[in-house]
Chains A and B, each alone.
Chain A
Amino acid sequence: MSTHMGVPSRGAGLLRTATGAAGRARRLDWTLITATAALCAVGSLLVWSATLPGDGGSPWASTDHLRRHLLHTAVAWAFCLAVASVDHRTVRAYAPLVYLATVVALLLVLTPLGAVINGSRGWIVVGGFQFQPSELAKVGLVLMLASMLGEPRDGETKPMTRDVLFCLALLAAPLALVMLQPDLGTGLVLGAIFLGMLTLSGAPVVWVAGMLASGVAAGFCVWWFDLLEPYQLDRITTLIDPSADPQGAGYNSAQALIAVGSGGFDGTGLFQGEQTHGRFVPEQHTDFIFTVAGEELGFVGAGTILVLFTLIVWRILRIAQGCDQPYPRLLCVGVAAWFAFQAFINIGMGLGIMPVTGLPLPFVSYGGTAIVANLLALGLVLGVNSRDRGFE
């Protein structure tokens, strides 16, 4: 290991420069990239099917959403590869800036620039262009927390109480703004990112245990003190008994179960789902896209999506294991926590075991900002991998 340390020789430097691009490409985690690309491809097909007019005509009758989705995905992959090719330490230098930018964007949402879509003030519309700052806030928070927790103060080997408190403040700003929209789903993801990173940061056990406990307690209290919007409370109540109010909050859940369940083992076939094309499940191209997979691709296809997510999160954590520095490792941990938590909540919602919260399925759901944010995060991880494993 030590032979790789120190200042590299000039020749080696030249060689590295000459073969830099190819070498970096070789060191990219192609398993991770392939799994993610596969997920994106399946997602595109599902978005296509979910947005067909439903009159049983040719799939080519309506490709508007598909084309926009493919454009978003292409742009997002460009961002991903661009970020992956930049030194993660360089990115780290911009972490405070990125973080601040996302917080400012979240503030702008609350100004007249913001737009209300689906009951939540979560969008900024400039010209014909609209985006969702809360998605980018996840990237900002991961970067900022990794930067803070991964750089112990002088004389310390791991974050101390002071760092933890500061990180808590870093979480509080975007969390508060997101909850003002209100967007409970994104709030939960931000919380999960924070808890995941804190747990593996080496911070004092008291703090880690305290934070985990208070996270659980907070969730419970929010419910208990009726701080949730009535519709959010309904969604939790109906999770216990989806048939309690089939036309109201339970409708989404009940319809999602019918769509997934009726798919059976091998599904109805792509573009053939009658529930999908009857639009019985609301938001089926965004939050409930997993139900389209369940109906049209069956257990085989939907199970494959589960495997792909497991593989992606597994690979990201593998990369984290390979890091000898806290910052890149925490970066990976943050991204892994994000993807794992969001996918679990989203799919669990489609399967009726999680409350209905507005969260897209990473890489699969329709939504430009979300897919850009997801692939930016992936780019960060790939950047870590292509550099930090060079010594192995």
Chain B
Amino acid sequence: MTVRRPPVDPALPGRRLGRVGLILVQLFVVLLFAVLGVRLWYLQVPMADHYRDLAVSNHHQRLVVPATRGQILDSAGRPLVSNRTDLVVSADYHALQGMDDGGEEVLGRLAEVLDVPVEDLRQRMRLCGPTVQRPCWPGSPYQPVTLADDVEPSVALQIMESADDYPGITAQAQAVREYPQGTHAGQILGYLQPVTQEELDAREELRTRFTGVDQVGRDGLERVYDTELRGTPGLRTLGVNNHGEVMDVISDEPPVAGMHLVTHLDLGVQKVAEKALADGIAAQPNADSGAAVVLDVTNGGVVAMASLPTYDPSVWRGGIDQETFDEMLSEEAGEPLVSRAYQGHYPPGSTFKVSSLSAAAENGYSLRSTYACPGSVTLAGQSYQNYAGGGHGSLSLHQAIVVSCNTIFYNFGYQMWQQDGGLHPEGEPDEAMANMARGYGFGSPTGIDLPFESGGRIPDREWKRTFWEQTREVNCRRAEEGYPEVAETNPGHASYLKRLAHEHCVQGFEWRAGEAVNFAIGQGDVLVSPLQLARAYAAIANGGTLYEPRVGRALVAADGSTVQEIEPSVAGELPVSDETLRYLQKALTAVPKEGTARGAFGDFPQDRVSVAGKTGSADQQNKETSAWFASYAPADDPQFAIAVFVHQGGTGGAAAAPIAREIYEAIYGFSGGSKPALPGGEPRDELPVVRSDGSIDVLER
């Protein structure tokens, strides 16, 4: 091989010129790569932390692992709310999206086996957003998307066994709320609803612990004890790739199951209370609703609390439709969401006389004197009758309670009103009646561990003035302009209304004799709830201690490891002397034996369990008389207080007392040889035991 090198012509400028050019090009290349080097330095040294943060948010996916919600148990450990396991078919959102056909084929096959239109599944697979109509998936795409719940085991099995035919689809058990007792205690238990965006926003620090499918207690115990029942969801941090596929588990914080709530409620007593109330309402032609409350007088525990009409809390499960929801709030349906027991307030009638008697006794009226009980009294130019219109001659206060004499209390109300200066009080009025009522816990919320309680109303001069100030403008305008719209059809009524408006406008602030007189027998503007009344009688029974009623008794860890008792909370003491209290107790004890409730308790074994109580028959404008019975037993060693209210039920002795009697019979086992609902006729003092494996030992009856 021969190399022939052509001679170099020194005239050729190429080499020299080329050299200079080449050196320039070399420098240019170095410059180019230096630019890259500077940029690389900028990204990797000063900016490294910034990009590391971005990298973490890129590939770390935090997944909330829900905690099992605690059960709600009665005092014996029987479940009132538990969790049911449903077979749920769900899909891995990313797995289906990643398929060539977007999961179409799998969904088609699934629709066949589930026997639903494939379009339905397609809609459920969409992520909810501002422009997406329901049904859609409200949760995170990293959680399994629920396509069908409560599927047949055979269908679930088919899907599980032929997993290859259903890639990305799982059939698994999932917990949903169950109400093993049906409608019993529904209003107390409350319900769950999906967490709203507002709630998520409000719980900024907890946001990572919520996902779109989280449920939050909306009412009742589920709401009040929501945090404890919910437990702590686990947090699993997953490493994901660009398709959202899980690569590895970076950290795993397991969930802590919610605590079980043991209540003071006794399922047996609750059932009897509801049934007796329903029967009692059905027995009265005009009765439409009612409530019955059973309290443990020693600690304020709510042993039973019934309110009718009620509803089945399971309607909330799986999302309620608008129609059912509207119906449940409607007046025609009797507003079953409202618990009459603690959210309803009504004039208490004669049951209120315990407060009026206390006010009189603490303000100079002797318990040893007798007082005239005529058939009617005329006070400040107006006549006031006894209930049946009959007179009883001269009575002790004991007798006044037993026969429920109104006229004696009318006089008390009128005289105390006069002592305060009547229409024109000088200085600060004593308001002895109203203050005693407040001392009994009326007029303000009891503080029960249930939501949305209001306080009722105890009217007095101050309330009247406030009310007048709020309504004066309207009344004064009406006093000027009259009621032309009423005058068209009924000129007489219109002129009456106009006079009334004028009176309210000019004198509406006055606390008048008639109002004070009616107040004394629990009529007029006085409004109390059955729960407030039961608590007041419980206080009389236990020697004067006013408790905050408690439904919850203890919170027990799901594995039984910790027991957190909910201690009774004292709201106050009755502002009544021991002498007055004993006097009242004796009088109340006589009522079911020889007084207004003797009919209802005629053959009740009072020698075994003596019942103390007071009837009430309250009138409300344009309505039938409502029946009350407030009581406690045993009279010599009080354990339970029961208040019963039947709206438009008639007299307390006829309509309300029999219901209370039925409840007592069930508690003590007096009805036809049945076992007592509560062993020994006493509230249980031990708690049901939750074992470490999560099982619950129900206490023997």
Residues of A bordering B, CB below 8 Å: 5, 8, 13, 17, 54-56, 87, 157-158, 196, 199-200, 202, 255, 257-265, 274-275, 277-280, 282, 294, 298-299, 302-303, 306-307, 309-310, 313-314, 317-318, 320-321, 323-326, 329, 333, 336, 340, 343-344, 347-348, 351-353, 387
Is B285's beta carbon under 8 Å from chain A? no
Cβ–Cβ contact A348 & B40, under 8 A: no
Instruction: Give A164 Cβ to nearest chain B Cβ, in Å.
Output: 16
**What are 16 of the A-B contact pairs (CB < 8 Å)?**
A5-B7, A17-B1, A87-B1, A261-B43, A261-B44, A264-B48, A280-B58, A280-B242, A294-B43, A317-B25, A323-B15, A325-B6, A336-B29, A351-B39, A351-B43, A387-B3
Indicate which residue in A56, A257, A263, A279 contacts B242 across the interface (CB closer than 8 Å): A279
Residue in chain A with minimal CB distance to B25: A317
Given pairs A274-B59, A306-B37, A309-B33, 8 additional interface contacts (CB within 8 A): A202-B14, A258-B58, A261-B48, A261-B50, A261-B52, A302-B44, A310-B29, A323-B15
Cβ–Cβ contact B55 & A274, under 8 A: yes
Interfacial chain B residues near A303, Cβ < 8 Å: 37, 40-41
Q: Kindly state the separation between the CA atoms of A230 and B33 in the bound complex, as whole angstroms.
A: 30
Cβ–Cβ contact A329 & B37, under 8 A: no
Q: Kindly state the separation between the CA atoms of A207 and B65 in the bound complex, as whole angstroms.
A: 71
Q: Kindly state the separation between the CA atoms of A347 and B32 in the bound complex, as whole angstroms.
A: 11
Cβ–Cβ contact A202 & B13, under 8 A: yes
Interfacial chain A residues near B25, Cβ < 8 Å: 196, 199-200, 317, 333, 336
Is B388's beta carbon under 8 Å from chain A? no
What are the interface flags for B47-58 relative to A under an 8 Å C-beta threshold, 1 for contact and 0 otherwise? 110111011001
Binding site of A, secondary structure by majority: helix, strand, loop or mixed?
A: helix
Q: Kindly state the separation between the CA atoms of A56 and B59 in the bound complex, as whole angstroms.
A: 14
Cβ–Cβ contact A261 & B241, under 8 A: no
Cβ–Cβ contact A351 & B247, under 8 A: no
Q: Kindly state the separation between the CA atoms of A202 and B9 in the bound complex, as whole angstroms.
A: 16
What are the interface flags for B8-43 relative to A under an 8 Å C-beta threshold, 1 for contact and 0 otherwise? 110111110111011101100110110111011101
Indicate which residue in B2, B18, B241 contacts A329 across the interface (CB closer than 8 Å): B18
Is B239's beta carbon under 8 Å from chain A? yes
Cβ–Cβ contact B51 & A157, under 8 A: no
Indicate which residue in A202, A275, A310, A353 contacts B39 across the interface (CB closer than 8 Å): A353
Q: Kindly state the separation between the CA atoms of A8 and B14 in the bound complex, as whole angstroms.
A: 26
Cβ–Cβ contact A317 & B3, under 8 A: no
Instruction: Give A13 Cβ to nearest chain B Cβ, in Å.
Output: 8
Cβ–Cβ contact B5 & A158, under 8 A: no
Instruction: Give B178 Cβ to nearest chain A Cβ, in Å.
Output: 40
Cβ–Cβ contact A324 & B15, under 8 A: yes
Is B45's beta carbon under 8 Å from chain A? yes
Cβ–Cβ contact A302 & B40, under 8 A: yes
Interfacial chain A residues near B6, Cβ < 8 Å: 325
Residue in chain B with minimal CB distance to A309: B33
Cβ–Cβ contact B43 & A257, under 8 A: yes
Cβ–Cβ contact B39 & A278, under 8 A: no
Q: Kindly state the separation between the CA atoms of A309 and B40 in the bound complex, as whole angstroms.
A: 15
Residue in chain B with minimal CB distance to A262: B55
Is B240's beta carbon under 8 Å from chain A? yes
Interfacial chain A residues near B26, Cβ < 8 Å: 313-314, 317-318
Cβ–Cβ contact B241 & A258, under 8 A: no
Residue in chain B with minimal CB distance to A347: B36
Is B248's beta carbon under 8 Å from chain A? yes
A55-B247, A277-B241, A329-B18 known; A259 vs B48 contact (CB < 8 Å): no
Q: Kindly state the separation between the CA atoms of A351 and B17 in the bound complex, as whole angstroms.
A: 36
Q: Kindly state the separation between the CA atoms of A329 and B17 in the bound complex, as whole angstroms.
A: 12
Indicate which residue in A199, A280, A307, A323 contacts B59 across the interface (CB closer than 8 Å): A280
Interfacial chain B residues near A263, Cβ < 8 Å: 44, 48
Q: Kindly state the separation between the CA atoms of A333 and B13 in the bound complex, as whole angstroms.
A: 17
Cβ–Cβ contact B12 & A259, under 8 A: no
Instruction: Give A49 Cβ to nearest chain B Cβ, in Å.
Output: 15
Residue in chain A with minimal CB distance to B55: A262
Q: Kindly state the separation between the CA atoms of A348 and B36 in the bound complex, as whole angstroms.
A: 7
Cβ–Cβ contact A351 & B59, under 8 A: no
Cβ–Cβ contact B36 & A299, under 8 A: no
Interfacial chain A residues near B8, Cβ < 8 Å: 324
Interfacial chain B residues near A258, Cβ < 8 Å: 51, 54-55, 58
Residues of B bordering A, CB below 8 Å: 1-3, 5-9, 11-15, 17-19, 21-23, 25-26, 29-30, 32-33, 35-37, 39-41, 43-45, 47-48, 50-52, 54-55, 58-59, 239-243, 247-248
Binding site of B, secondary structure by majority: helix, strand, loop or mixed?
A: helix
Q: Kindly state the separation between the CA atoms of A321 and B8 in the bound complex, as whole angstroms.
A: 15
Instruction: Give A141 Cβ to nearest chain B Cβ, in Å.
Output: 18
Q: Kindly state the separation between the CA atoms of A353 and B278 in the bound complex, as whole angstroms.
A: 80
Cβ–Cβ contact A259 & B55, under 8 A: yes
Cβ–Cβ contact B58 & A275, under 8 A: yes
A55-B247, A320-B22 known; A278 vs B59 contact (CB < 8 Å): yes
Cβ–Cβ contact B45 & A262, under 8 A: no
Q: Kindly state the separation between the CA atoms of A310 and B35 in the bound complex, as whole angstroms.
A: 12
Q: Kindly state the separation between the CA atoms of A157 and B14 in the bound complex, as whole angstroms.
A: 8
Instruction: Give B526 Cβ to nearest chain A Cβ, in Å.
Output: 67
A-B residue pairs, 9 tightest by C-beta: A261-B51, A262-B55, A264-B48, A278-B241, A299-B44, A278-B59, A262-B51, A310-B33, A261-B43
Indicate which residue in A257, A278, A307, A317 contacts B247 across the interface (CB closer than 8 Å): A278
Interfacial chain A residues near B45, Cβ < 8 Å: 264-265, 299
Q: Kindly state the separation between the CA atoms of A323 and B19 in the bound complex, as whole angstroms.
A: 10
Interfacial chain A residues near B37, Cβ < 8 Å: 303, 306
Residue in chain B with minimal CB distance to A339: B29
Interfacial chain B residues near A17, Cβ < 8 Å: 1
Cβ–Cβ contact A260 & B44, under 8 A: yes
Residue in chain A with minimal CB distance to B53: A262
Instruction: Give B370 Cβ to nearest chain A Cβ, in Å.
Output: 92
Q: Kindly state the separation between the CA atoms of A199 and B6 in the bound complex, as whole angstroms.
A: 24
Cβ–Cβ contact B11 & A157, under 8 A: yes
Q: Kindly state the separation between the CA atoms of A313 and B29 in the bound complex, as whole angstroms.
A: 8
A202-B18, A317-B29, A324-B15 known; A277 vs B247 contact (CB < 8 Å): yes
Q: Kindly state the separation between the CA atoms of A324 and B17 in the bound complex, as whole angstroms.
A: 11
Cβ–Cβ contact A310 & B30, under 8 A: yes
Q: Kindly state the separation between the CA atoms of A87 and B2 in the bound complex, as whole angstroms.
A: 10
Q: Kindly state the separation between the CA atoms of A298 and B45 in the bound complex, as whole angstroms.
A: 9
Interfacial chain B residues near A196, Cβ < 8 Å: 25
Interfacial chain B residues near A56, Cβ < 8 Å: 239, 247-248
Q: Kindly state the separation between the CA atoms of A36 and B55 in the bound complex, as whole angstroms.
A: 32
Q: Kindly state the separation between the CA atoms of A307 and B51 in the bound complex, as whole angstroms.
A: 24
Indicate which residue in B2, B22, B47, B239 contacts A321 across the interface (CB closer than 8 Å): B22
Interfacial chain A residues near B2, Cβ < 8 Å: 13
Cβ–Cβ contact B40 & A260, under 8 A: yes
Interfacial chain A residues near B41, Cβ < 8 Å: 299, 303
Cβ–Cβ contact A306 & B29, under 8 A: no
Interfacial chain A residues near B247, Cβ < 8 Å: 54-56, 277-278
Interfacial chain A residues near B59, Cβ < 8 Å: 274-275, 278, 280
Cβ–Cβ contact B36 & A306, under 8 A: yes
Instruction: Give B9 Cβ to nearest chain A Cβ, in Å.
Output: 8
Q: Kindly state the separation between the CA atoms of A323 and B22 in the bound complex, as whole angstroms.
A: 11
Cβ–Cβ contact A264 & B36, under 8 A: no
Q: Kindly state the separation between the CA atoms of A13 and B4 in the bound complex, as whole angstroms.
A: 12
Q: Kindly state the separation between the CA atoms of A158 and B13 in the bound complex, as whole angstroms.
A: 9
Q: Kindly state the separation between the CA atoms of A261 and B56 in the bound complex, as whole angstroms.
A: 12
Interfacial chain A residues near B13, Cβ < 8 Å: 157-158, 202
Interfacial chain A residues near B21, Cβ < 8 Å: 199-200
Interfacial chain B residues near A199, Cβ < 8 Å: 21, 25
Residue in chain A with minimal CB distance to B15: A324
Interfacial chain B residues near A277, Cβ < 8 Å: 241, 247
Instruction: Give A87 Cβ to nearest chain B Cβ, in Å.
Output: 7
Interfacial chain A residues near B7, Cβ < 8 Å: 5
Cβ–Cβ contact A280 & B241, under 8 A: yes
Cβ–Cβ contact B52 & A278, under 8 A: no
Which of A158, A199, A274 lies at the interface centre, i.e. has the most chain B CB atoms within 10 A of its CB? A274
Indicate which residue in B9, B29, B43, B240 contacts A314 across the interface (CB closer than 8 Å): B29
Interfacial chain A residues near B32, Cβ < 8 Å: 340, 344
